[in-house]
């Protein structure tokens, strides 16, 4: 898959920026079994899957949120799932029309992989065309530590995004936060 870029002069995609991460953190199988068989059906580009776009992202193609994802209910709005696969970095709206036809009425991270191995996964929201809010919340492929997740966040920053990380729970360092706690802390591109 080729990344969707507004600026054709950009030659380094977010997926390219993850080469060091992929070398350091190998692929892993799903960390839990699917609840039903359609959770491992592979979503296709024609169904709403995209390669993670270069910054700045097209706001027409990747709608921005209007409220910060500070509660579970607000977080459902315009939430994208992402997965780092060995060869690419696909994303899709969790509540895309294709996913609404599934038993669970939305896609899972395993729909982005077809049930195959991946390096990591999580959720993200486009705030502005060059600002994203991101977490490592995936029951199947989530980062195992905040240190691992920081490598992913830095890769996104290197690809031109301002990134607000939701981080990990301060009481349980192995659990990623699933909502934004307080005002976002924007880390500038590097």
Contacts with 181 (C-beta within 8 Å, 6 or more apart), sequence order = 70, 166
Q: pLDDT tens digits for 4-31?
A: 555 545 457 899 999 999 999 999 999 9
Contacts with 60 (C-beta within 8 Å, 6 or more apart), sequence order = none
pTM (two decimals) = 0.93
Strands (E), the chain: 50-51, 80-84, 90-93, 120-128, 131-135, 162-165
Q: How high does pLDDT run on average in the chain?
A: 93
**d(Cα 118, Cα 28) in Å, to the nearest integer?**
6
**d(Cα 135, Cα 152) in Å, to the nearest integer?**
10
């Amino acid at each position: 898959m080729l990344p969707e870029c507004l600026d054709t002069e950009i030659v380094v995609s977010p997926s390219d920026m993850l080469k060091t991460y992929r070398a350091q953190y190998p692929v892993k199988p799903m960390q839990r079994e699917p609840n039903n068989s359609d959770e491992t059906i592979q979503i296709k580009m024609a169904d709403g899957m995209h390669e993670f776009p270069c910054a700045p992202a097209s706001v027409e193609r990747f709608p921005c949120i209007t409220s910060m994802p500070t509660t579970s209910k607000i977080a459902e709005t315009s939430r994208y799932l992402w997965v780092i696969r060995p060869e690419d970095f696909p994303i899709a709206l969790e509540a895309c029309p294709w996913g609404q036809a599934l038993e669970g009425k939305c896609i899972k991270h395993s729909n982005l992989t077809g049930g195959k191995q991946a390096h990591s996964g999580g959720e993200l929201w486009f705030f502005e065309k060059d600002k994203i809010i991101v977490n490592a919340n995936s029951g199947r492929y989530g980062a195992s530590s905040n240190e691992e997740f920081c490598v992913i966040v830095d890769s996104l920053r290197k690809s031109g995004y301002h990134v607000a990380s939701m981080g990990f729970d301060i009481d349980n360092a192995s659990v990623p936060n699933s909502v934004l706690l307080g005002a976002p802390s924007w880390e500038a591109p590097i």
